[in-house]
Amino acid sequence: MDALDILTDLENVIPYFQPIFSADEQRVIGYEILGRYRTASGAASLGPFFLDRQIPDEYRLEVDNTVLEKALRKAACLDSDVLLFVNRDAELLMLDGGEEFLQLLLRFQEKGIAVNRIVLEISERNYEGNPEHLDHLLNYYRTYGMKIAIDKMGNDSSHLDRIGQLSPDILKVDLQALRSTAIGPSYQDILYSLSMLARKIGATLLFENIEMVYQLQFAWRNGGRYYQGFYLHNPHEDFVNRDFLKERLKKEFHEFIVSEKKKLERLFFASEKLQSMVQEILAKRRKYDVNDELLFTLANHLDQIAFRMYVCDEDGFQQSANILKINNQWIIQKEYLQKNWSWRPYFLENIMRMRNEKKGILSDLYSDIETGDTIRTFSYPLNTKEFLFIDLSYEYLYEQDDLL
Whichever domain contains 377, its CATH number is: 3.30.450.20
pLDDT in tens, 98-107: 999 999 999 9
Range of the domain at 285: 261-400
242: in domain: no
388: in domain: yes
Question: Domain tally for the chain?
Answer: 2
3-class secondary structure for the chain?
CCHHHHHCCHHHEEEEEEEEEECCCCCEEEEEEEEEEEECCEEEECHHHHHCCCCCHHHHHHHHHHHHHHHHHHHHHCCCCCEEEEEEEHHHHHHHCCHHHHHHHHHHHCCCCCHHHEEEEEECCCCCCCHHHHHHHHHHHHCCCCEEEECCCCCCCCCHHHHHHHCCCEEEEECHHHHCCCCCHHHHHHHHHHHHHHHHHCCEEEEECCCCHHHHHHHHHCCCCEECCCCCCCCECCCCCCCCCHHHHHHHHHHHHHHHHHHHHHHHHHHHHHHHHHHHHHHCCCCCCCCHHHHHHHHHHCCCCEEEEEEEECCCEECCCEEEEECCEEEEEHHHCCCECCCCCCHHHHHHHHHHHCCCEECCCEECCCCCCEEEEEEEECCCCEEEEEEECHHHHHHHCCCC
123: in domain: yes
Q: Between 193 and 359, where is the model more confident?
A: 359
Tell me: pLDDT of 180 over 70. Answer: no
What number is the average pLDDT over the span 358-375? 91
Question: What is the model's pLDDT at position 2?
Answer: 85
In this structure, the answer to whether residues 225 and 272 fall within a common structural domain is no
**Of 229, 252, 278, which one is at a domain's C-terminal end?**
229
Rounded to two decimals, the pTM is 0.89
pLDDT in tens, 145-179: 999 998 866 555 445 667 877 889 999 999 987 77
In this structure, the answer to whether residues 267 and 167 fall within a common structural domain is no
